[in-house]
């Protein structure tokens, strides 16, 4: 399926490179000819309304999406390559943990699945629990955790083995403002201290300013990419939400064929 640009990712510090990325689901084109890059070590926000294709794009990046065409390179390899399995962490929207295991047992199980050596497992599990600030609740059954705590266990699972790229699908949905702030702090700490690249989706525009770079999507298309400041500057707006609306209008105008001008005699030119 994919063609390649060998070595491009490491040479220019690109974690994800997409060109002409198109995905068809159930006969519908849900990603339409997307071209973009995600810089290594950045926190990049994937923003757009519900149904615009964020999850599909993330699934393509982690290699679980069928019917992907175009170029999609992840950490120097075609998306979905076996070598990327331990280098890319993915957290889906619904927390995927076993309810009848404790948070720590969940992590221990996934650490074993990941192939971490038994003598290293405890250290990785303890680190992941500390990262998401769940050490106090480590021995509670996942079934007894709150929704927000369960999503943090899912995030901790993705952090095991210190992946180079973390793909997080709406990780802050349903969290209170304090937890949301703490999670964004964690994302930046991972990028700054470990050089992790984070691709984080959200349909809430007020999270835009927490990202260094943004990919703005609507209806399967990429409206724009850049830093929040660049996007505001380019559109002459004060807030990323206004920049988004401006870009939506501009895209709509570009798509709408102009009515043919009509001559005085009533014939169309
Ligand atoms: N199996 C499928 N068959 C047909 N269309 C599908 C299928 N799966 C998803 N879609 C459509 O693809 C589009 C993109 O879905 P996707 O889940 O990627 O959006 P999203 O931006 O992540 O939305 P949300 O924020 O609500 O999760 C939607 O219009 C959805 O209805």
Distance 52 CA to ligand 1 centre (A): 7
**What CA–CA distances, in Å, run from 128 to 8, 133, 134?**
31, 8, 9
3-state helix, strand, coil split of the chain in percent (to 5) is 40, 25, 35
**pLDDT at residue 201, as a whole number:** 95
**pLDDT at residue 119, as a whole number:** 85
Domain contains 125: yes
Domain contains 202: no
**pLDDT at residue 77, as a whole number:** 97
Q: pLDDT tens, position by position, for the chain (269 residues)?
A: 333 333 334 445 999 999 999 999 988 999 999 999 999 999 999 999 989 999 999 999 999 999 999 999 999 999 999 999 889 999 998 878 999 999 999 999 999 988 888 889 999 999 999 999 999 999 999 999 988 889 899 999 999 988 999 999 999 887 888 888 988 999 999 999 999 999 999 988 888 999 999 999 999 999 999 999 999 999 999 999 999 899 888 888 887 766 655 444 545 44
Domain containing 100: what range? 95-162
Domain contains 147: yes
Report pLDDT digits (tens) over 147-167.
Answer: 888 989 999 999 998 899 999
Task: Give the CB-side neighbour count of residue 203, counting CA atoms within 13 A.
Answer: 12
Domain contains 118: yes
Domain contains 70: no
Distance 53 CA to ligand 1 centre (A): 6
Domain contains 211: no
Residue tagged 């990419």 (tokens) = 225
Pocket flag, ligand 1, residue 203 (CB < 6 Å): yes
Domain contains 105: yes
Report pLDDT digits (tens) over 248-258.
Answer: 888 888 877 66
Distance 47 CA to ligand 1 centre (A): 14
How many CB atoms are located within 10 Å of the residue 119 CB? 7
Pocket flag, ligand 1, residue 54 (CB < 6 Å): yes
- Counted domains in the chain: 1
Domain contains 167: no
Do residues 38 and 16 make contact, with C-beta atoms less than 8 angstroms apart? yes
Do residues 69 and 1 make contact, with C-beta atoms less than 8 angstroms apart? yes
């Amino acid at each position: 399926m994919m063609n390649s640009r060998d070595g491009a990712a490491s040479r220019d510090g690109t974690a994800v490179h997409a060109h002409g990325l198109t995905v068809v689901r159930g006969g519908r084109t849900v990603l339409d000819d997307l071209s973009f890059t995600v810089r290594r070590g950045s926190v990049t926000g994937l923003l757009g309304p519900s149904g615009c294709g964020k999850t599909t794009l993330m699934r393509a990046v982690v290699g679980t999406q069928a019917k992907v065409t175009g170029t999609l390179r992840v950490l120097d390899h075609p998306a979905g390559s076996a070598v990327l399995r331990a280098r890319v962490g993915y957290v889906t929207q619904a927390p995927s943990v076993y309810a009848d295991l404790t948070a720590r047992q969940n992590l221990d199980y996934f650490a074993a699945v990941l192939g971490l050596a038994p003598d290293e497992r405890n250290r990785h599990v303890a680190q992941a629990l500390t990262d998401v600030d769940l050490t106090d609740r480590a021995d509670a059954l996942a079934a007894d955790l709150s929704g927000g705590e369960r999503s943090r266990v899912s995030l901790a699972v993705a952090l095991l083995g210190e992946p180079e790229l973390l793909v997080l699908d709406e990780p802050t949905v349903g969290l209170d403002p304090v937890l949301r702030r703490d999670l964004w702090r964690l994302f930046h700490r991972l990028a700054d201290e470990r050089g992790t690249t984070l691709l984080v989706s959200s349909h809430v525009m007020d999270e835009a300013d927490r990202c260094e770079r943004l990919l703005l999507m609507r209806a399967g298309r990429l409206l724009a990419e850049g830093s929040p400041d660049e996007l505001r500057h380019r559109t002459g707006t004060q807030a990323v939400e206004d920049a988004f609306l401006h870009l939506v209008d501009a895209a709509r105008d570009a798509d709408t064929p102009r009515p043919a001008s009509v001559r005085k005699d009533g014939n169309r030119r």
